[in-house]
Amino acid sequence: MAKRAFHISFGNSADHSLDYLLGMLEDVRVTTWLTVQNLQVEELDWQYKAGWNTIGALLSHITALEHYFRIEFVEGRKLTEAENQQWEPALDMGKYIPQLIAGHPISTYQASLAASRQLLVQSLKNLTFEDFTKRIEGYDADSGCNLAWVLFHMIEDEIYHRGQISMIRKLYKEHYG
């Protein structure tokens, strides 16, 4: 069973900023996992109303975003056509929500979350402080952004969607007692 550490360890990487980032990534993911670990398919696929997100769709979105941020910002390349086809439904959600209601058990989502995280962590291990802080065009026309902010934004997004998951769980319990 996953357990929160309540400490971020330093000295495991060549750069303390990487240790800090990895500690945040770990805590956010463990907390997300603890929120959803025992859900059944019915709760993962339940919609409060037509067009609303489901917990499963949000978990797919978190996974797809992690792949997107790794590919675009850490690896510094555009998604291939195959990657775009694979991740677009979960990235955009909206009109794709019906196809994201897939009847998958929680173990499928957990495996996808673990795989995306493993790829991200591997890609981060070779980065330097300069990689985290160099300017990337986008997000803000005046200042651009940097990889440290992009990765913080990815973490922030997962936390935001975990809040949505908690709300959907409450609505589900209210609806089904």
- Which tens digit of pLDDT belongs to each residue from 110-136? 999 999 999 999 999 888 888 989 999
CB-CB contact of 71 with 83 (8 Å) = yes
Q: Is residue 119 part of a domain?
A: yes
| Average pLDDT of span 81-85 | 97
Q: Is residue 122 part of a domain?
A: yes
Q: Is residue 145 part of a domain?
A: yes
- Which tens digit of pLDDT belongs to each residue from 92-106? 999 999 999 999 999
Q: Is residue 74 part of a domain?
A: yes
The pLDDT assigned to 7 comes to 82
- Which tens digit of pLDDT belongs to each residue from 37-55? 999 999 999 999 999 999 9
CB-CB contact of 67 with 116 (8 Å) = yes
Q: Is residue 4 part of a domain?
A: no
Domains held by the chain: number: 1
HSE toward the beta carbon, residue 63, CA cutoff 13 A: 22
Q: Is residue 163 part of a domain?
A: yes
Indicate whether 87 pLDDT > 80: yes
Q: Which domain holds residue 114?
A: 61-176
Q: Is residue 65 part of a domain?
A: yes
| Residue with token string 């609505």 | 171
The pLDDT assigned to 1 comes to 61
Q: Is residue 36 part of a domain?
A: no
The pLDDT assigned to 102 comes to 93
Region of residue 174 (left: phi > 0; alpha: psi -120 to 50; beta: else): alpha
